[in-house]
Each structure stands twice: as C-alpha cells, then as structure tokens.
Chains A and B, each alone.
Chain A
Amino acid sequence: MKIHEFQAKEILARYGVRVPRGKVARAPEEAAAAAKELGGEVVVKAQVHAGGRGKAGGVKKAGSPAEAGKIAGGLLGKPLVTHQSGPRGQMVRALLVEETLPVARELYLGMVIDRETARVTIIASGEGGMEIEELARTRPEKILKAPVHPVSGFMPSQGRRLAFEMGLGKEQAEKFTAFLSGMYRAFVELDASLVEINPLVLTQAGEVVALDAKLNFDDNALFRHPEVEALRDVEQEDPAEVEAGKHELSYVRLDGNIGCMVNGAGLAMATMDIIKLFGGEPANFLDVGGRTDAARVKKAFQIILSDPNVRAILVNIFGGIVKCDVIAQGVVDAVSEMGLKVPLVVRLQGTRVDIGQEILKKSKLDIIPAETMREAAEAVVAASRR
C-alpha cells in the first residue's frame, strides 16, 4: 500500500527522522497561510501516489505567500500526469507546503527487503539528484548496500561505514546514522516494504534532512496496523482495482480488448502470454483466487465488463481448491443476469470438471467451450476480431 509524501514524513518524524517544516494545504488560501507561517519562501508539492512529480510540474517554488496561493490554485483539483501516473493522471487534492532549505549536497537513501538474502537492506548513494536506476545500470559501484541482520537490527557501524564511503564528515556521519536508525525502526515496526528518501540532503547548516520521502507497506501485514490502513487514499487507486480488492479479487487493468478471468496468478499471467502469442491483447489481469464462490465470479464479470474496451472474454480455470462446478454456476448466473453481449470462451479443468461442464451445457447459453489452453486462446482471439 502506498501513502502520500506528507503522511510518510509525519510517520518518519515520529521515529526521529529529520524532515523539513511543512504544512498540508487543501485550498489556495491554506497554502498562502502555510507559506506565511513558514517564512514566505516555500516549496509547494502536489500530493499524488506517483513519482516523477517534479518533471511533471507538480513541485514548484514560491517566493511569497501570494505566489504559493496562486501555484496551489493551479494544482488543486486537477489531475497531475507523470511518467508513472498513467495517461489519465492522478487527482491532486492536497499539497505539502514546505520551508526551503539551503542544500549543500544531495544523497540517495533507500530501504527494501532483499529476497535473495532475506534481509532488510539499506541502499545508499553519494550521487544524489541522479536517476537512481540509471546510476545502478551505468555506475553500479556508486551504489552502496548494507544488509541488516534481523537478530542485531541496524548497527551504528553500518551507518558510519556508509556515511564515510559517501564522503561525509564525522559529525554528519553521526547524524546520518541516527537518521538510518529511526528509518529502520519505522520499517520493521510498521511492516514497510519500501522506504525511499530521494533526495536526502545535507544542509549548509550541517543537518541531514529527508527532502522527499516515499513509504510503502506490506499489504499482508496491514491487519496488524490499523493506523497505517487508515492512511489509504482510494482516490489515488484505479476504481476497478479498488472494487476488485474489496471482493478479494486481484485485478490489474491493461490496454487490450480480451477480458481474462483465471484462478492463480501464475496461470493468469500465462493466459495473458498465450493470448498475446496468438496475436491478441489482454484487457486485464484477473485472479479470482482460491476461495471463489458464485457471487465472486459474478463480481469478476462485472469488473471485466466495466472496461469498455473488452470485445471478448476468456475464463480459464484449473480447479485445485477452486471447484469447476462453482465457477460454472457463477458464470451461468452472471451471464443470464447481465445478458452478456461479447463472446465468451470457457475452459475448465481439474476438480469437478465434469459437473462444471454439465452445468454449462444445460444452461444453453452461448458459450464457446475449450478443452485445452491452446484451444481457448485461439478461440478467444478469433472471437475478439469478429
């Protein structure tokens, strides 16, 4: 789960991480008032769940409260399109108005779980201000890594090592270490999946400050952090994906025209792959999961059909936990109730497949049956071109 920059900074500040003074504004006059309180000269930052805000015009400097108010008026209530937001952009409902800081140097700092080593791993670089992925490709030696052992937790020696390798002095190394210590505690106590401070700045006064902050959380651990769950901003998420999530369906909208309903993420991806191999384009990824009932299948159909691009639908189920008769009944219920207008290909295999196919046959609905994955893909691609 993602949260906004201002929320990430509030959380990190509670763990002793230094952030700029700032205020959230939801109206131009609030932005002007915040700028006045912060000394006049400020940065106005659009709060959306997408990176690349600076280049997209979502981060602007203001020399006075009046200018801050004017900038706020230009940003609020409009979608911001960045290279990560998708072409529709993401709606700006809040701004973070922050003091400007005299920056001496920019660094990069990140924290993720490295699946290969099973360690929370710190990633740091003295080359701030650069595209970090670009740097990792071109000059990997400039990226420093420090894995944290879960028994010891973060150790000050790790902070000092990173700091001195990036060329920080003794005093700043201590501040950097304290910064990291707080960041690590936030990571493990709140079940984060990613913390990224880009840039981390050294101010001319010698402070170590998070100029930006990104904080993502492990969805699987939200059950033990209701205070984190409360920070969710559904307006920043795709409405169809939000609706799917409510019904424990895993849905991702794509650009094609063949709707897919599959059980299991691996089979769902493989189904998209085979559609593409036969020259079609999947409209979505949809995993109905293992505990599907007829109602959830119906919901899945509604979500697939909410995408106006869908020209044909492929249901590909290999029943293990999922029983084919349950899926078949769900398909029949949904189709009879919703009056499906696009061709539907159904391929059922596995647990109780015979009963499932019987249900489809008896329904007399216009369903194109398929025995294998190849047949199913060929049939749906042909149907999508009709």
Chain B
Amino acid sequence: MSILVGKETRVLIQGLGSAGKFHTGTMLEYGTRVVAAVSPGKGGTAWEKVPLFDSVHQAVRATGADASCIFVPAPGAADAVLEAFEAGVRVIVCITEGIPTLDMLKVKNVLAGSSAVLIGPNCPGIITPGECKIGIMPAAIHKPGRIGVLSRSGTLTYEAVDQLTRLGLGQSTCIGLGGDPIKGLDFIEGLSLFEKDPGTNGVVLIGEIGGAAEEAAAEYARKNMTKPVVAFIAGRTAPPGRRMGHAGAIIAGGKGTAAEKVAALKACGVRVAESPADIGQQMVEALKAR
C-alpha cells in the first residue's frame, strides 16, 4: 500500500527539455507508467516510445493519464500546472524551481477547494518504491516498505531515506513537498493520508526554518496521529533574518525558528532527531517503543 501514486498511476510529462528527458528516462527505467508527454507542436510523434501530444487535454483524453510531472521552466510553470488542473489531472507534481511567488499565489487560489493534489513546486517529487517514481530523486536509495516520508527539502530527504534503507526500514511513499513559500500539498495533508494508509507504520517529517507549517503539523499529529512521527528541523544554526537559498528558509519577525519548531513538535509527542545523522535511528526507536 502507499499514498497518492502506485503501480496503476498513469503519468504524463510536461516540459520535455534536456532535464525533462533525462529524468523521464530514469522514471521509465524504474518502471513508472509514463503514458504521454506534452510538447506543443509535436503532437502525433513520439519520444523513446512515449507518445507526444500538443496539449494536456489531448494527452489525458487519449491515454487516461491521471498524474503529471512538470519540468516546464519557471516563466511558464504556473501555466503548466493550471493546464494540468483544467484537464482533470488528479496528482500534479511540479519539479520546477524559481517560480515567481505571485504566480504560485494565483495557482494556489485556483486549486483551493478542488480535489486535485499539487506536489511542489521546487521539489524532488513523489515515489512509491518499487511501483512508481515521479520526479528526480535517486531511485537506488529507496526500498519498498512501511515508512512514509514528508519533507520540505530535496537532498536532505535523500539523506533521511538512505538512513532508513540502511537500517532496513523500507518506505511506503516519500514526498518532497518543496521549499517555496507557497506550495501545494502540506505536512498536515500528507500526515492525514499516511494515517489512513494501512501500508504505513510511521512517518518521517523533515522541516526547516521559516513559516509555521511544522508547528501546525505538530498540533495535527497530537490530535490525529496514532502512528509514530519522527521529525528533523534543518537550520538550527542559521543566523536569523538571513536568506538561505530557499525562499522558504526566511525567518520573519522571530517566527518559525528551529528552536520554536522543535519545542512545538516535542510538546505534541513527536520525536525530534537532534542530529541529521540520527533521523533513521530515531524511527527505529520510535517503532520499538510501541
């Protein structure tokens, strides 16, 4: 079992530039059912046996694609997300980084209240190990299993997954939520999906400084999670007020510091790894403690 994507998921690709092609190749290699790609003007042709379409509407109608992976460059990325949404795609994964915040603000407000799930932008994507990889994460570190992973970071997610796998803990589904200030799926929605998934026994949550998503997730976990949650917060040593690459990593007005987030999580019964090297081990112990 898993959440959001699995063996049956039919994936279409938006943005078949060099990065799009490279990562689509790794997705095909992994066994992901990539059924279509959208490349305006090239409809009717194919790339590596993947049929090409002029628009997402055409691709969805012809192939029944229900998930999309977006590699479209930042200036056109919001348009690509909305095209997928209008065409009825159920899970929209946006890898693109550097999208203007006001573009995402519009996207978020259009999607509000709908059943479509947006993952990202500025994220590694989503993977259900052994079944379906949508995104740019290195496949080899993953292993099928029963731990869910939710993360605001990209490479730090790989670090956590690698630790889990080395300790013999496979993953049900791993999701990179993305580092931008305005994004799709959040911790709470992810936690709720994992709580309901009979194939998940515990959840790793990787946060970072800025915003209040971890604090909200802590409160949600206290009230709703019967499964153990293990967290790590990156940026304990980041100096206040400095921008650390991610728009997400801004501390505004003393809110969203690592110390506050760690305290909120601990107060709600979430195990917090002090060191980024101990995330996997903390999950081992959390599962033992039950």
Contacts from A to B (Cβ < 8 Å): 84, 112-113, 115-116, 118-120, 133, 136-137, 149-151, 188, 191, 193, 218, 220-221, 223-224, 250, 252, 254, 262-277, 282, 285, 287, 290, 318-321, 349-351, 372-374, 377
Residues of B near A112 (CB, < 8 A) are: 252
Which residues in chain B, 141-156, are within 8 Å of chain A measured between CB atoms?
141, 151-156
CB distance from A354 to the nearest CB of B (A): 11
5 closest Cβ contacts across the A-B interface?
A: A266-B153, A264-B155, A221-B100, A250-B245, A266-B156
Which residues in chain B, 171-200, are within 8 Å of chain A measured between CB atoms?
179, 181-182
Residues of B near A115 (CB, < 8 A) are: 181-182, 211
Q: Please, could you name 7 A-B residue pairs with CB atoms under 8 Å apart, sorted by A?
A: A224-B75, A252-B243, A267-B156, A269-B249, A274-B277, A285-B244, A318-B155
Please state if A320 and B237 are interface contacts (CB–CB under 8 Å). no
> Of the candidates B97, B101, B235, which one forms a contact with A193 in the assembled complex, judged by CB atoms under 8 Å apart?
B101
Interface residue B40 (Cβ < 8 Å from any Cβ of A): no
Residues of B near A373 (CB, < 8 A) are: 159, 276-277
Please state if A188 and B245 are interface contacts (CB–CB under 8 Å). no
Nearest B residue to A266, CB-CB: B153
Nearest B residue to A278, CB-CB: B275
Q: How many angstroms between the C-alpha atoms of A223 and B77 in the bound complex?
A: 14
Please state if A277 and B109 are interface contacts (CB–CB under 8 Å). no
Residues of A near B249 (CB, < 8 A) are: 265, 269
Given contacts A318-B162, A320-B124, contact A265 B153 (CB under 8 A): yes
Nearest B residue to A119, CB-CB: B105
Interface residue B289 (Cβ < 8 Å from any Cβ of A): no
Nearest A residue to B104, CB-CB: A118
Given contacts A218-B100, A220-B98, A319-B138, contact A265 B245 (CB under 8 A): yes
Please state if A318 and B158 are interface contacts (CB–CB under 8 Å). yes
Q: How many angstroms between the C-alpha atoms of A208 and B288 in the bound complex?
A: 64
Nearest A residue to B111, CB-CB: A118
> Of the candidates A119, A151, A252, A264, which one forms a contact with B154 in the assembled complex, judged by CB atoms under 8 Å apart?
A264
Interface residue B21 (Cβ < 8 Å from any Cβ of A): no
Residues of A near B203 (CB, < 8 A) are: none
Interface residue B208 (Cβ < 8 Å from any Cβ of A): yes
Interface residue B5 (Cβ < 8 Å from any Cβ of A): no
Residues of A near B57 (CB, < 8 A) are: none
Nearest B residue to A270, CB-CB: B276
Tell me which of A149, A150, A265 has the highest count of chain B C-beta atoms within 10 A of its own C-beta: A265
Nearest B residue to A194, CB-CB: B252
Residues of A near B243 (CB, < 8 A) are: 252
Nearest A residue to B181, CB-CB: A115
> Of the candidates A220, A262, A270, A276, which one forms a contact with B101 in the assembled complex, judged by CB atoms under 8 Å apart?
A220
Given contacts A118-B182, A136-B253, A320-B124, contact A218 B238 (CB under 8 A): no
> Of the candidates A250, A268, A285, A350, which one forms a contact with B138 in the assembled complex, judged by CB atoms under 8 Å apart?
A350
> Of the candidates A151, A267, A275, which one forms a contact with B155 in the assembled complex, judged by CB atoms under 8 Å apart?
A267
Please state if B138 and A265 are interface contacts (CB–CB under 8 Å). no
Please state if A266 and B102 are interface contacts (CB–CB under 8 Å). no
Interface residue B274 (Cβ < 8 Å from any Cβ of A): yes
CB distance from B171 to the nearest CB of A (A): 16
Interface residue B117 (Cβ < 8 Å from any Cβ of A): no
Nearest A residue to B109, CB-CB: A150
> Of the candidates B105, B138, B244, B277, which one forms a contact with A374 in the assembled complex, judged by CB atoms under 8 Å apart?
B277
Given contacts A150-B106, A223-B75, A374-B275, contact A270 B156 (CB under 8 A): yes
Q: How many angstroms between the C-alpha atoms of A264 and B234 in the bound complex?
A: 12
